[in-house]
Amino acid sequence: MDFEIPKSTRDITNRIRAFVEGELMPLEARYIGSGFKEMLPQMAEARAKVKALGLWAPHIAEARGGMGLSLTQFAHVSEVLGRSPLGHFAFNCQAPDVGNMEVLQHFGTEAQKERWLGPLIGGEIRSCFSMTEPEMPGSNPVMMETRAEVDGDDYVINGRKWFTSSADGAAFAIVMAVTNPKADSPYLRASQIIVPTDTPGFERVRNISVMGDPGDDYASHAEILYTDCRVPRSNLLGAEGAGFVIAQERLGPGRIHHCMRWIGISERAFDLMCARAAGREIAPGRPLGTRQMVQQWIAESRAEIDAARLMVLKTAWRIDKEGAAAARDDISLIKFYVAGVLQRVLDRAIQAHGALGMTDQTPLSYWWRHERGARIYDGPDEVHKSSVAKRILRTYGMTQS
């Protein structure tokens, strides 16, 4: 494989970097201090500028209004956008919408695409993904209590979800619910169903406070109660019982998106750490960067970020060439490795800033609050490590689990 970045991709990332640094970074202090809802008018202006520049929805085919980038190309873009908390939203490639767009493209009916996918790509609406349940272990996703029972031409959904990201202000949810409880395999018992958020029985109970921040609008995680929530059976995505198959299809590219965003955050934190080390004096004429411990932080961070990037680009390239199934081990490896790099680099950058690192005068503490979950969501690190190790050991003849 060739890791040289084509000139066309470099040109795109350079244009996007200029926009992120010139238009979005100046908005960060207000966003961190005031919340996302306060930023909606300015974000609408920023999104209009992105569209005018032809940089909208980089992951979506040109025929549907996007840039038509490959997964490997989008990986480079996602890193640049990750340098700002506002980056992905401004370019309409933010989670969970990016995953829901992919699901609708691959599994949606023409009617579903017309009603939901078109407006989602256009940035006219937002969506959310409703899977995790407060009473069930997220590390074992087949344990699920939410049910969708057939009643004539409808599904009637009952259950409780939480950490339904971006439900505040979303037009619809894609909900995972058990439809086939007697299926032989637990992975064939659940389905994905579109639920408009104005459906009677859909209740956003609260935005969950994450390390003291409940968030608002797009930047939030909600608890959702489904009570006799009735939707047409035509809202089913794909085949009944195929919920986990669909979920796996979105997880491979989704982990590329997350991991490259984390690398972008790490690069920004690295820049802030190095600037602080070079400019902050701990004694007259002696900057912080003269301390060997700080030099060690910088060297280790540079090595870890570069290694993480190569791992993710290799995985994206393999998904592009061979599909997500062939890259299964790579996808697990990058998930826990890059999440660990992100946490270590952020911690070093905060430590280098001292008391300033604990404040909201830089984005470091914001990222620490909101990205510590990187080692938990989409499968905790421990599950990925165990799964990939078992698969590796099978190639050496070990059959016990």
Q: Can you tell me the mean pLDDT for 195-220?
A: 97
Distance CA 389, CA 245 (A): 22
Of 218, 237, 256, which residue sits at a domain end? Answer: 237
- 276 and 209 share a domain? no
Of 237, 255, 271, which residue sits at a domain end? Answer: 237
Q: Can you tell me the mean pLDDT for 1-15?
A: 84
- 226 and 294 share a domain? no
Helix residue spans in 53-166 (DSSP H) = 71-81, 87-90, 97-107, 110-112, 118-122
Q: What CATH number does residue 46 fall under?
A: 1.10.540.10
- 262 and 369 share a domain? yes
- 254 and 356 share a domain? yes
Q: Is residue 2 part of a domain?
A: no
Contacts of 35-42 spanning 24+ positions with Cβ under 8 A: 35/215, 35/216, 35/217, 35/219, 36/215, 36/216, 36/217, 36/218, 36/219, 36/220, 37/216, 37/217, 39/86, 40/217
The more confidently predicted of residues 248 and 120 is: 120
| Structural domains in the chain (count) | 3
The pLDDT of residue 73 is 94
Neighbours of 213 (CB within 10 A): 16
Confidence of residue 377 (pLDDT cuts 50, 70, 90): confident
The pLDDT of residue 42 is 97
Domain hosting residue 295, numbered range: 245-394
Alpha-carbon distances of 132 from 97, 108, 222, 268, rounded to whole Å: 17, 22, 11, 30
Contact 270, 349 (CB under 8 A): yes
Q: Is residue 399 part of a domain?
A: no
Q: Can you tell me the mean pLDDT for 258-283?
A: 97
Could you tell me the pTM of the whole model? 0.95
Assess whether pLDDT exceeds 70 at residue 3: no
Distance CA 133, CA 160 (A): 6
- 87 and 156 share a domain? no
- 252 and 164 share a domain? no
- 269 and 310 share a domain? yes
Q: Can you tell me the mean pLDDT for 294-300?
A: 98
Distance CA 239, CA 287 (A): 62
Q: Per-residue DSSP letters for 117-143?
A: IHHHHHTS--EEEE---TTS-TTSTT-
Confidence of residue 243 (pLDDT cuts 50, 70, 90): very high
Q: Is residue 401 part of a domain?
A: no
Among 309, 298, 288, CA closest to 348 = 298
Calculate what percentage of the chain has a pLDDT beyond 70. 99
The contacts of residue 278 (CB under 8 Å, 6+ apart) are 287, 288, 289
Q: Can you tell me the mean pLDDT for 17-43?
A: 97
The pLDDT of residue 2 is 57
Q: Is residue 149 part of a domain?
A: yes
The pLDDT of residue 379 is 82
Q: What is the mean pLDDT of the chain?
A: 95
Q: Is residue 254 part of a domain?
A: yes
- 94 and 142 share a domain? no
Contact 162, 210 (CB under 8 A): no
Q: Is residue 400 part of a domain?
A: no
The pLDDT of residue 354 is 97
Of 100, 122, 144, which residue sits at a domain end? Answer: 122
Q: Can you tell me the mean pLDDT for 245-261?
A: 87
Q: Can you tell me the mean pLDDT for 147-174?
A: 98
The pLDDT of residue 264 is 98
The pLDDT of residue 292 is 98
Strands 190-196 and 172-178, by their bridges, are antiparallel
Distance CA 71, CA 84 (A): 20
Q: Is residue 361 part of a domain?
A: yes
Q: Can you tell me the mean pLDDT for 185-213?
A: 97
How many residues in total does the chain contain? 401
- 109 and 166 share a domain? no
Q: What CATH number does residue 361 fall under?
A: 1.20.140.10
Q: Is residue 346 part of a domain?
A: yes
Q: Can you tell me the mean pLDDT for 104-115?
A: 97
- 290 and 361 share a domain? yes
- 176 and 298 share a domain? no
Q: What CATH number does residue 160 fall under?
A: 2.40.110.10
The pLDDT of residue 138 is 80
Any idea what DSSP says for residue 209? P
- Bridge partners, residue 194, by sequence: 174
- 255 and 231 share a domain? no
